[in-house]
Amino acid sequence: MLPEVAVAILGLGASVLTISSPDELFQCEPATFSWTPNLGPYILSVTLSDLAPTFNLSMEDQEAWVDGAEMVISIPEASTATWIVDLPEGLNVTTHIKDAEGHIASGYPRVIGPGHGACLMAAEWSEYEDWARTV
């Protein structure tokens, strides 16, 4: 099975930004995302599938949770990033990428599959479950 590729359709003369993500995501396992290299830096966003990304990240942060509902990761110039899926199984998430010119591409929704759970602390489980129920 080939990984999906999502495309952002842009205006005439603009660069096309695409993002590729794994076919499956597993709790506490690495997932590598790649995108067409445009102008960096880039911000990779992971949201619950029914939420729009905000891409809010302070200049000092490399990675942060925004309002408990969005993981954002800053990538200076590379066109790939690996994320340890630190969310519990069963959540439906979507990845997004934004380049320095403001172009955005989104992947297709993925349900996080089971994993060993070692990256999640017991207290975080209830926080994520509460988060998933509120959106």
Q: What is the pLDDT along the chain (135 residues), one digit of tens a residue?
A: 444 544 444 444 456 899 999 999 999 999 999 999 888 888 888 888 877 777 776 545 565 555 556 777 788 888 999 989 988 899 999 999 989 898 999 999 999 999 988 888 654 545 555 545 544
Residue 19: which residues within 8 A CB-CB, separation 6 or more? 5, 6, 33, 34, 35, 95, 96, 97, 105, 106, 107
* Of 43, 6, 52, 2, nearest in space to 24 by CA: 2
pLDDT of residue 92: 92
Exposure string over 85-109, b if 16+ CB within 10 A, otherwise e: bbbbbebebbbbbbbeeebbbbbee
pLDDT of residue 10: 43
DSSP annotation of 108: -
Query: Which residues make beta-bridge pairs with 126?
Result: none
Residue 125: which residues within 8 A CB-CB, separation 6 or more? 88
pLDDT of residue 40: 85
pLDDT of residue 114: 94
Structure tokens at 131: 């988060």
Residue 30: which residues within 8 A CB-CB, separation 6 or more? 82, 83, 84, 85
pLDDT of residue 15: 65
Q: What radius of gyration, in Å, describes the C-alpha atoms of the chain?
A: 15
For the whole model, what pTM was predicted?
0.72
User: Per the structure, how many domains does the chain have?
Assistant: 1
Q: What's the CATH code of the domain at 50?
A: 2.60.40.10
Instruction: Give residue 109's domain range.
Output: 4-134
Instruction: Burial-class residue 116 by CB neighbours within 10 Å (0-12, 13-18, 19+).
Output: exposed
